[in-house]
Amino acid sequence: MKNRFLLAGLFVFAFTISFAQSTYYFSEGLGIGPCHKYGREALYTDQLAYMLYNGSLKQPVEGQMLAAGDAVKWKVVKTDTAHRFRGDSFSNGYIYLSYESKKEQVVVLNITGNDMVYVNGAPRGGDVYRYGWMNLPVKLKKGRNEFYVRVARFGRFGGVVAKLTFPEKPVYMHTEDLTMPNAVVGLKNDSLWAGLVVANTTAKALTGLTVKSVVSGRQIVTNLPVIPAYMTRKIGVVLDAGSVSVAGKLPVALTLLQGGKEIDSKAIDLEVMPAWKQYSRTFVSEIDGSVQYYAVSPYIGPKSNTSPALFFSVHGAEVQAISQARAYKPKDWGVVVAPTNRRPRGFNWEDWGRLDALEVLGIAKKQFTPDPARIYLTGHSMGGHGTWFLGATYPDKWAAIAPSAGYPTLSSYGSHDGMIPDSSGSEVESVLLRASNASNVPALAQNYKGLGVYIAHGDADRTVSVEYARQMKKLLAGFHPDFSYYEHKGGGHWYGDISVDWPPIFDFFSWHTIAKDTATYHIDFTTANPGVSAKMKWATIQQQVVPLKYSNVKLNLDKQKNSISGTTSNVATLSLDLSAFEKGSKISVQLDNENALSVDVAENNQNILLRKSGKWSLSTNGLEKEKNPLRSGTFKEPFKNRMVFVYATKGTPDEILWAYEKARYDAETWYYRGNGAVDLVRDSEFDMEKFRDRGVILYGNSTSNLAWNKLLANCPVRVSAGKIVVGSHEFVGSDLATYFTWPRADSRVASVAVVAGTGKMGMQATNANQYFAGGSGFPDLMIYSAEMLEKGFKGVKMAGFFGNDWSVEKGDFVITK
- Please, is 214 exposed, middle or buried when counting C-beta atoms within 10 Å of its C-beta (0-12, 13-18, 19+)? middle
Which of 153, 271, 256 has its CA nearest to residue 206? Answer: 256
- Looking at residue 34, its amino acid is P
Residues 462-484 have a mean pLDDT of 97
Across 288-316, average pLDDT: 95
Q: Does the pLDDT at position 75 exceed 70?
A: yes
pLDDT higher than threshold 80 for residue 13: no
Mean pLDDT of 571-595: 96
The pLDDT value recorded for residue 413 is 81
The CA-based diameter of the chain, rounded to the nearest angstrom, is: 88
Q: Return all residues near 570 (Cβ < 8 A) that are at least 6 apart.
A: 544, 545, 546, 549, 550, 551, 552
- How would you label 274-289 residue by residue, b for 16+ Cβ within 10 Å and e otherwise? eeebbbbbbbebebbb
Element (H, E) at 321: helix 321-326
Asked whether residue 154 carries a pLDDT value surpassing 90, the answer given is no
pLDDT at 356 over 90: yes
Report d(CA 534, CA 527) in Å as an integer. 7
Query: What confidence category does residue 335 fall into, taking pLDDT thresholds of 50, 70 and 90?
Result: very high
pLDDT: which is higher, 15 or 526: 526
Q: What is the pLDDT of residues 383-394, one digit of tens each?
A: 999 999 999 999
pLDDT band at 67 (very low <50, low <70, confident <90, very high): confident
Q: Examine the pLDDT at 4 and tell me if it is beyond 60.
A: no
Q: What is the pLDDT of residue 21?
A: 56
| 71 — pLDDT class (breaks 50, 70, 90) | confident
Say yes or no to pLDDT of 11 above 50. Answer: no
Mean pLDDT value across the chain = 94
* Residue 225 in this model has a pLDDT that exceeds 80: yes
For the chain, what percent of residues have pLDDT higher than 90? 91
Percent of the chain scored above 70 by pLDDT? 96
- pLDDT for res 500: 98
Q: Number of helices and strands (H, E) in the chain?
A: 12, 51
Q: With 50 as the cut, is the pLDDT of residue 2 above it? A: no
Pair 128, 115: CB distance under 8 Å: yes
Estimate to the nearest angstrom the gap between the alpha carbon of 71 and the chain centroid.
Answer: 36
Q: Give tens-digit pLDDT for 749-777.
A: 999 999 999 999 999 999 999 999 999 99
pTM over 0.85: yes
- pLDDT at 6 > cutoff 80: no
Supply the DSSP symbol for 396: G
For 718-745, the pLDDT digits (tens) are 999 999 999 999 999 999 999 999 999 9
DSSP 409: -
Distance CA 694, CA 703 (A): 23
Q: Which pLDDT score is estimated for 18?
A: 34
pLDDT of residue 416: 67
Residue 672 has pLDDT above 60, yes or no: yes
How high is the pLDDT of residue 295?
98
Burial 317-334 (b: 16+ CB within 10 A, else e): bebbbbebbbbbebbebb
Residue 419 has pLDDT above 80, yes or no: no
Query: What mean pLDDT is predicted for residues 212-237?
Result: 97
